[in-house]
Amino acid sequence: MATSLTTLVRGSSAILLILALTAVGVRTYLQSDAVSLRETGAGSHIIVYIKPKTGVQEIAQALREAGVIRSRWVFLALAYLQGSLTRLHAGEYEFERGMSILEILRKLETGRVITHQVTIPEGFTAQDIAKLLAGERLVDANRFKALAEDPRFVESLGIPSDTLEGYLFPDTYRLTRGMGEEEIFRIMVGRFRQAVPQDMDSRTQRLGLDLHAVVTLASLIEKEAKLDRERPLVAAVFYNRLQRNMPLQSDPTAVYGDPSPRRRITTSDLRRQTPYNTYLRAGLPPGPIANPGLASLMAALNPAQVTFLYFVAKKDGSHQFSRTLEQHAQAVRKYQAKSDGSGDSSL
């Protein structure tokens, strides 16, 4: 009986050893086969986008179709033996020709995806940002614009407005494909909160405004001023006009929301019937007309202590500021003489 038991144990051990050696052999074969899959040819890099919630078999198929691997079955077998089946991450990857399957698996496991460095310029509208990010294949432009105007989503981000216009902070971002429009909005709004002064609320109250009004005013400053040194002066003109119940008459407000390509503002634009046109409606527009940078936000919080009520653009992008309508008329004749009937970028 003891002899039989010893024989059984020895037999079982032999079977386990054979199975272990077989597994090692298969792994070694697959690894060596993976090395043999190295390729050379035109184009040293291949970019593959793996959508979120993509299964491992679909990942293998995508890699096969892109020419990253030759055999999806070898890829799946080695992924199984490596314990990688449930550890592969979605995202946009750049693979070098000649990578082994082991190297490909490690890259997918660690999630070393491509990052896109995108700069959002000051004064871009949400529509401009949607077009820019869609061009980088980071968002769906229509969904981006729809979310930016979704009051429920805007409220979920703690923004005191019906839209995200004005709160998408202009900056340089490192974004990845597949992160989603919602996450990109959270990042941009988060950057806005980081950029503005910590005592923003108390500072807006001292000015007799709320946060939304200050951001709205900053967006007008952003669209009107090209030089940082002039932003506090432009802010002062708007504050002085608000205090006197004068229309702001800011040209960019007249064309906000116009889907046509950017062009010079004309006198017919100034007669457009929209809630944002400050030629036809008194006070601030109902919301920002662009996303202002930090310099414009700070100018809205710290207007210059001057009595100017007017400004007109010069040919070099600077402005001539005036206290009276007579002075302003002279400046317009001097700096904006024309005969084409177009707007004069002045107020």
Each domain of the chain, given as residue ranges in start order, spans 35-114, 116-195, 205-335
Per residue in 213-266, pLDDT (tens digit) is 999 999 999 999 999 999 999 999 999 999 999 999 999 999 998 877 667 888
130: pLDDT strictly greater than 70: yes
Within 13 Å and on the Cβ side, how many CA atoms surround 321? 19
Q: How far apart are CA 335 and CA 85, in angstroms?
A: 69
Which whole number is the average pLDDT over 129-156? 96
Q: Which helix (H) or strand (E) holds 219?
A: helix 211-224
- pLDDT band, residue 12 (cuts 50/70/90): very low
Q: What is the CATH number of domain 116-195?
A: 3.30.1490
137: pLDDT strictly greater than 90: yes
- pLDDT band, residue 133 (cuts 50/70/90): very high
18: pLDDT strictly greater than 50: no
Q: Contact 78/31 with Cβ under 8 angstroms?
A: yes
Q: For residue 46, what are its two tokens?
A: 């291949």
- The owner of tokens 């400004």 is 311
Which whole number is the average pLDDT over 12-37? 41
Question: One fold for both 35-114 and 116-195?
Answer: yes
pLDDT in the model for residue 41: 40
pLDDT in the model for residue 336: 80
pLDDT in the model for residue 43: 57
Strand 116-119 versus strand 319-322 pairing type:
unpaired
Cα torsion at 304, 305, 310, 312 (round to 10°)? -40
| Better pLDDT: 313 or 8 | 313
Domain 35-114 belongs to what topology? Dna Ligase; domain 1 (3.30.1490)
Q: To 10 degrees, what angle do helices 72-81 and 2-36 make?
A: 130
Name the pTM for this structure.
0.81
